[in-house]
Structures are given as C-alpha cells and as structure tokens.
C-alpha cells in the first residue's frame, strides 16, 4: 500500500499529528509511506520506519507540479494542511483516494484530536488518539551530567505568545543553584535568547548554555528528551517535551491552551492569566497592552515549579 502524506508546516503541529499518523500506519498492512512538507516537519518524521521517501516542498506552484509528477502514483493521499496551495497539490497528485484536512470542520477540541478525527473520518474508523510519537535518529544521543532546566522563550507564530526576557532571566537566576540552564530557540529567535543571556551574565550566572539557532531538529530532540525541567511558551519544543514526558511549565498568553497544550503529559502545568481577551489567537496584541504576558511574573512560574516537585 503506497501512501502519500503531506505534513503540517510547523514543528508543533507535526508533532500533534503523530498519533493520527500512527493510526494510518495501524490501519494499512505494511504501508510504504512517502511524506512531503516543510524542512522542519520532514526532519521530525523521516526516521519513521514506515517512511520510504521524503520530499521538502517549496512555495512555488511550478515546483508542486514537478514533485507531483516525480512522485508517481499512490493508493491514498492524506494532507494535514488545508491551505489553497495544498488544495492545488491535491489536484496534481495521482492517487485513487485523496483527503484534505478541513480546519473549520473540527472545533472545540485539542489539535491532536482534530487531526485524529480527520483520519477517522477518512478511514471510517474510531481510533483513539494515542501518545505523541517521536522517533529520533539513532545517531542522535545526548546525556546531561547534572540536572538541567531548559528555557524556550521564542515562538515562531508571533510576539503575542512571548513572555519577557527579564522574567525568564529572573526565573533562571532563582533556579541556577539547583539546575544548569540551557536556552533554546530556532532561527529568528536568537535576539530574545541573547537578551536573556546578557541578563544572566549581569547577575553573575555562569552555569548556562545558549543553543538558540545552533541545533538541528534531531539535536533539539535529544537535548529536550534529557531535560529535568522545561519552561516554555506555546511552541514546537513544548510539544517535543510532551512526547518525552518532561516536567514542563507551559506559559500561555494569546493562544488557546485547550487546543494546543501539551498532550498526555501528566507532568505539565499551564501558567496563564484568565483575561477576557484571552485567547485572541493573534500574532501581536490587538489591544496594544499585551497584558496576558505583561501581568505574568517570575514568581508565578517559580510557584508552578515548586508544585511540580
């Protein structure tokens, strides 16, 4: 059975799609899976034992036509995206059965469940959404010699989701006696990591490491999988931590924790303010005050850390 899967664009969404992908694998006998998607999503999935081929898509429509021709024929095509570009790609793909995720069809549930409902609708099944399933490279291993807290202050979606460097730094200073500190971040998130680093230096903290924009996806997986504690905003790395059951403090502002909180991580605590304007789901604060993050203090996060212990 030849299956083509178009993955979500973002790291976090791809992680949240993994239970649905496992249900696809469980449904078909010995599937041969080809996956297409962004570089980030491909890096996350390409070690799956049922994946036989991967293809990174770019935004050019002429490239979609070339890829569709080169990939050949499939028995079934699943797209976890609902964009106009994905609709065009669906038309170009040669497959007996084609399915496209519809965002508006699945409401009022976690994103993991949305993807899983979509697959159940496609296959006429009633599979439950299981655990997040990440298969890192066998060559990617890392082990910390001392307890480590990971800090992930960035967010690819926009600044509305970001807590402030000063507050992160204050948390790190307080925890530095118990943990070594590792700062994470993707490309484009170096500035906020450097701001935190400067504040740590000013406070005389030396037991830290800044890895922002310095790791591959497999290296990021390996680092996060071996943390003792993770403090993060709503982000892709937050979902990586959930996959490995890392004790996590998840800071939520503009986004909906009922839809994108950590999935099946019993060691997770959400820190947020229950404001009338939450969740606005905007990239930047539409009211210009950013109170969902501004009113959160380091003490709120530190109190959450204490409750985890």
Lowest mean pLDDT among 38-52, 136-150, 166-180, 232-246: 136-150
Diameter of the chain by CA atoms?
63
Q: What is the pLDDT of residue 61?
A: 87
What percentage of the chain reaches a pLDDT higher than 90? Answer: 91
Q: Which of 45, 32, 99 minimizes the C-alpha distance to 71?
A: 32
CA distance 11 to 204: 34
Please tell me whether residues 64 and 211 are part of one structural domain: no
Q: Note whether 5 and 80 are within 8 A (CB).
A: yes
pLDDT above 60: residue 140: no
Query: Residue 194 sits in a domain of what CATH number?
Result: 3.40.50.2000
Domain contains 227: yes
The pLDDT tens digits for 37-84 are 999 999 999 999 999 999 999 888 889 999 999 999 999 999 999 999
CA distance 197 to 202: 9
**Domain hosting residue 47, numbered range:** 2-123
Structural domains counted in the chain: 2
| Strand runs labelled E in 80-142 | 94-100
pLDDT above 70: residue 275: yes
Residue-wise DSSP of 226-251: T-SEEEEESSHHHHHHHHTT--EEEE
Domain contains 44: yes
CA distance 101 to 118: 6
pLDDT above 60: residue 262: yes
Domain contains 116: yes
Please tell me whether residues 118 and 68 are part of one structural domain: yes
Q: What is the pLDDT of residue 139?
A: 59
Average pLDDT over every residue of 78-97: 96
Q: Note whether 242 and 264 are within 8 A (CB).
A: yes
Question: 16: which 2 tokens?
Answer: 């949240």
Please tell me whether residues 173 and 291 are part of one structural domain: yes
Q: Note whether 196 and 114 are within 8 A (CB).
A: no
Average pLDDT over every residue of 26-40: 96
Domain ends where: 123, 138, 156?
123
Please tell me whether residues 169 and 64 are part of one structural domain: no
Please tell me whether residues 169 and 242 are part of one structural domain: yes
Give the H or E element holding residue 51. Answer: strand 51-56
Domain contains 131: no
Cis peptide before 279 (omega within 30 of 0): yes
Domain ends where: 107, 123, 139?
123
Domain contains 258: yes
Please tell me whether residues 165 and 304 are part of one structural domain: yes
Which pLDDT band holds residue 153 (cuts at 50, 70, 90)?
A: very high
pLDDT above 80: residue 305: yes
Which letter, b or e, does each residue of 36-70 get, where b requires 16 or more Cβ atoms within 10 Å of its Cβ?
Answer: bbbebbbbbbbbbebbeebeebeeeeeebeebbee
The pLDDT tens digits for 235-247 are 999 999 999 999 9
Please tell me whether residues 109 and 11 are part of one structural domain: yes
Mean pLDDT computed over every residue of the chain: 95
Domain contains 26: yes
Domain ends where: 123, 156, 176?
123
Please tell me whether residues 153 and 115 are part of one structural domain: no
Domain contains 142: no
Please tell me whether residues 152 and 106 are part of one structural domain: no
Please tell me whether residues 21 and 104 are part of one structural domain: yes
Please tell me whether residues 289 and 181 are part of one structural domain: yes
Domain contains 81: yes
Which pLDDT band holds residue 113 (cuts at 50, 70, 90)?
A: very high
CA distance 239 to 236: 5
Give the neighbor-by-neighbor strand order of the sheet with 73-79. Answer: 51-56, 32-37, 2-6, 73-79, 94-100
Q: What is the pLDDT of residue 259?
A: 97
Lowest mean pLDDT among 23-37, 138-152, 225-239, 275-289: 138-152
Q: 230: Cβ–Cβ under 8 A, 6 or more apart, which residues?
A: 149, 150, 152, 224, 237, 238, 241, 246, 247, 248, 249
Please tell me whether residues 253 and 174 are part of one structural domain: yes
Question: 261: which 2 tokens?
Answer: 């909180």
């Amino acid at each position: 059975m030849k299956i083509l899967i178009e993955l979500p664009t973002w790291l976090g969404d791809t992680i949240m799609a993994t239970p649905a992908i496992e249900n696809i694998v469980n449904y078909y006998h010995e599937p041969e899976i080809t996956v297409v998607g962004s570089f980030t999503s491909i890096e996350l999935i390409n070690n799956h034992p049922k994946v036989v081929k991967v293809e990174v898509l770019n935004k050019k429509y002429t490239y979609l036509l070339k890829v569709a021709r080169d990939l050949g024929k499939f028995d079934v095509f699943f797209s976890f995206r609902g964009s106009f570009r994905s609709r065009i790609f669906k038309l170009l793909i040669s497959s007996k059965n084609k399915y496209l995720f519809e965002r508006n069809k699945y409401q009022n549930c976690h994103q993991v469940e949305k993807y899983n409902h979509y697959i159940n609708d496609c296959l006429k099944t009633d599979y439950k959404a299981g655990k997040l399933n990440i298969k890192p490279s066998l060559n990617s291993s890392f082990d910390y010699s001392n307890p480590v807290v990971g800090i992930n202050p960035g967010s690819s979606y926009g600044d509305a989701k970001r807590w402030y460097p000063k507050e992160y730094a204050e948390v790190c200073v307080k925890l530095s006696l118990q943990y070594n500190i590792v700062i994470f971040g993707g490309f484009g998130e170096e500035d906020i990591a450097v701001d935190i680093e400067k504040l740590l230096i000013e406070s005389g903290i030396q037991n830290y490491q800044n890895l922002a924009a310095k790791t591959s996806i497999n290296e990021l997986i390996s680092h996060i999988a071996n943390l003792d504690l993770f403090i993060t905003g709503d982000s892709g790395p937050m979902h990586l931590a959930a996959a490995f059951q890392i004790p996590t403090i998840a800071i939520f502002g503009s986004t909906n924790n009922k839809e994108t909180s950590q999935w099946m991580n019993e060691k997770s605590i959400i820190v947020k303010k229950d404001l009338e304007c939450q969740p606005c789901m905007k990239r930047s604060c539409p009211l210009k005050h950013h109170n969902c993050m501004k009113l959160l203090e380091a003490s709120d996060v530190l109190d959450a850390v204490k409750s985890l212990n």
